[in-house]
Amino acid sequence: MKKLLTAVLTLAVASAWAQTFEGTIKWSMKMEITDPAMKAKMAEGQKKMNDPAEQEKMKKMQEQMNDPKMKAMMDANPAMKAQMEAMMKGQQSGDMMSSMMPKGMIVKLKGGNTLVTMDGGMMTGDFLHTGDKSVRLDRANKTYSVMPSGDGKGMENQQKPTVTKTSETTKIVGYTCTKYIVTTNQHGQTQVTNMWTTTDIKDVDLKALAKQRSGRGQSMFYEGVDGVPLKIESSSKEGNMVMEVTEIKRESLNASDFAIPSDYKETQGMFGGPR
Going by C-alpha positions, the residue among 261, 240, 274, 270 that lies closest to residue 123 is 270
Q: To the nearest whole number, what is the mean pLDDT of the chain?
A: 76
Q: Tell me the pLDDT tens digit for each residue of 33-87.
A: 887 887 777 777 767 767 787 777 777 777 776 777 777 777 666 656 666 666 6
DSSP β-bridge partners for residue 23 = 109, 250
What is the distance between the alpha carbons of residues 134 and 120, in angstroms, rounded to a whole number?
Answer: 20
Look at residue 213 in the predicted model and tell me its pLDDT: 44
The half-sphere exposure of 117 on its side-chain side, counting CA atoms within 13 A, is 9
Distance (Å, whole) CA 181 – CA 194? 5
Quote the pLDDT of residue 253.
95
Check pLDDT > 70 for residue 260: yes
CB 126 within 8 Å of CB 136: yes
CB neighbourhood size of 191 (10 A): 16
Which pLDDT does position 254 carry in this prediction? 95
Instruction: Give the full edge-to-edge strand order of the sheet including 175-186.
Output: 162-172, 175-186, 189-198, 228-235, 239-250, 23-33, 104-110, 113-119, 125-130, 133-138, 143-146, 265-266
For residues 215 and 195, give the distance between their C-alpha atoms in angstroms, rounded to a whole number.
21
What is the arithmetic mean of pLDDT over 92-104? 65
Instruction: Let me know: does 160 contact 154? Beta carbons within 8 Å.
Output: no
- Confidence check: pLDDT of 259 > 90: yes
- Whole-number pLDDT of residue 205: 59
